[in-house]
Amino acid sequence: MTPPYDVIVVGSGTAGCVVANELSADRRRRVLLLEAGPDTADRSPDWFSGLGDSTNFIPHRTVRRTPQAPITSYLSGNGVGGSARVNGMLALAGLPADYERWNAEFGCTDWAADVIGADVDELRMAFPVVPPEMTGPLDRALMSAAGRFGFAQPVDLAKYAEGAGRLPLAARHGVRRSSIERFLQPALDRDNLRLRTRASVVRIDTGRRAGVEVLLADGETLTARRVVLCAGTFETPAILLRSGVRRAGLGMNLRDHAAISVPLKLTAPGDSAYWMASAWRASSAGGYADIGLIPFHRPARGPGAATTFLMVALMTCESIGRLTFGSAAEPSAIHADANLLSDPADAAGFNDAVDLALQVLDDPGFASAARPTDAEQIAALRDPSARQAWVARHLDGFFHACGTARMGTPGDPLAVTDQRGQVIGVDGVYVMDASSMPTIPRAPTHFSTALIAHRLARQLSG
């Protein structure tokens, strides 16, 4: 008996949108895209206002970033488009060395920098760089400060590891252009692609002659020749565990970018078309291009006050966390113990990032444009005896969690998939999302997630 679908794609975030687009390009291939959340394809809120609406995020996702930090909600986008509907739109590729590491340390030869270069260049075309006239005074203040500190500016951040420059965004003409608009909507015109929302996957079963079965929460069973999981860093390993997959790496190897936000008051006149439009990459004493400074400015809108801050981030992560699945009160709950800055190299790198940020805040040119408003925070960060404890309690994150179903070689006991996305030892089931990253790139994960989906879907098609 022939299954009704050739491929079922689970999850319609960035990865799912890209995979559905790539696989359905062959009109002979029947593709079903499942989304557990609502159909939100026609509404993408701006980032800041979207944070205030809990319906934009999957419930029962929590994180503790350090042992001293409180448990807080982990913001993962709900509905069609996933986090691409509500994220900061940053679409910067990792450095070539980030992907080369997947090759050198994890045996993923298909991800060597010289192998993936053409795909990186192709995908970059989807994410235009903010034009100079659409930056704001805070962007210009940061880039000017970088120049005074001896860094090149403005630089093309796609070509230069260090320096300050304008960012590529998932946007155009000042408006978000999410993975829905860029990848999914053009494909939905194809009669061989179907999108189905509010279809929550309980488990998958490969022990069937007809193909791979997908059991939904309402009891319905769907069948396809192959299933591609794009449910994200939290849900993809959960589905595999519920399906009886017992790879030791499931839910392990959790990585994220550590960050803090320094609130500012913008005193220079003018606004930016984008709330985040530039970044400064620098190096810690023990790393390279591992410090990220990103200015944020949201002008006052209606009754809302202006919001301005400088995000200070460590863009590498050797500290490894893990996921915990389910609780007595909520079986669907997933909790992340991120364990950020537990690795000494990360702790030292983040300390250098804070040092650089404080120097920037003290720079007269930058201070003429913006000044910090939280005196208690600044005092703690300046005090060597207080900084570590303050950071441990207040550390934030970029919500760039990845790595919980990582790729590797079949002989690697902690690998969940091979380098082409197939779950090791399981026929017909693939992972093509951020959970498959062996390590985190030195960039926001949106681009690299799309890159994984793009490359692996094309390989599956071939």
Asked if the model's pLDDT at residue 47 lies above 80, the reply is: no
pLDDT tier for residue 460 given thresholds of 50, 70 and 90: very high
Please enumerate in sequence order all residues whose Cβ is within 8 A of that of 404, keeping only pairs 6 or more positions apart, or say none: 233, 234, 236, 237, 249, 250, 251, 252, 253, 254, 322, 323, 435
Instruction: Give binding residues as ranges.
Output: 201
pLDDT at 302: 54
Asked if the model's pLDDT at residue 230 lies above 70, the reply is: yes
- Mean pLDDT, rounded, for 19-45: 88
Q: Is the distance from CB of 169 to CB of 179 less than 8 angstroms?
A: no
Asked if the model's pLDDT at residue 75 lies above 80, the reply is: yes
Most confident range (mean pLDDT) of 69-78, 195-204, 260-269 is 195-204
Could you report the per-residue pLDDT of 353-390, keeping only the tens digit for each? Answer: 999 999 999 999 999 999 999 999 999 999 999 999 99
User: What's the predicted TM-score (pTM) here?
Assistant: 0.94
pLDDT at 347: 98
Q: Is the distance from CB of 56 to CB of 65 less than 8 angstroms?
A: no
Q: Residue ranges per domain, the chain?
A: 1-49+76-128+178-255+401-461, 131-166+257-398
Could you report the per-residue pLDDT of 401-420, keeping only the tens digit for each? Answer: 999 999 999 999 999 999 99
Instruction: Identify the CATH number of the domain defined by range 131-166+257-398.
Output: 3.30.410.40
Could you report the per-residue pLDDT of 169-198, keeping only the tens digit for each? Answer: 988 878 888 888 889 999 999 999 999 999
Mapping DSSP onto H, E and C, the string for the chain reads: CCCCEEEEEECCCHHHHHHHHHHHCCCCCCEEEECCCCCCCCCCCCHHHHHCCHHHECCCEEEECCCCCCCEECCCECCCCHHHHCCCCECCCCCHHHHHHHHHHHCCHHHCHHHHHHHHHHHHCCCCECCHHHCCHHHHHHHHHHHHCCCCCCCCCCCCCCEEEECEECEECCEECCHHHHHHHHHCCCCCEEEECCCCEEEEEEEECCEEEEEECCCCEEEEEEEEECCHHHHHHHHHHHCCCCCCCCCCCEECCEEEEEEEEECCCCCCCCCCCEEEEECCCCCCCCEEEEEEEECCECCECCEEEEEEEECCCCCCEEEEECCCCCCCCEEEECCCCCCHHHHHHHHHHHHHHHHHHHCHHHHCCEEECCHHHHHHHHCCCCHHHHHHHHCEECCCCECCCCECCCCCCCCCECCCCEECCCCCEEECCHHHCCCCCCCCHHHHHHHHHHHHHHHHHC
Report the topology of domain 1-49+76-128+178-255+401-461. FAD/NAD(P)-binding domain (3.50.50)
pLDDT, averaged across the chain: 92
Which of 101-105, 132-136, 276-280, 297-301 shows the lowest mean pLDDT across its residues?
Answer: 297-301
The neighbouring-strand residues paired with 154 are none
Instruction: Give binding residues for FAD as ranges.
Output: 201
Asked if the model's pLDDT at residue 400 lies above 80, the reply is: yes
Which of 63-72, 208-217, 321-330, 374-383 shows the lowest mean pLDDT across its residues?
Answer: 208-217
- Mean pLDDT, rounded, for 333-355: 98
Asked if the model's pLDDT at residue 49 lies above 60, the reply is: no
pLDDT at 41: 63
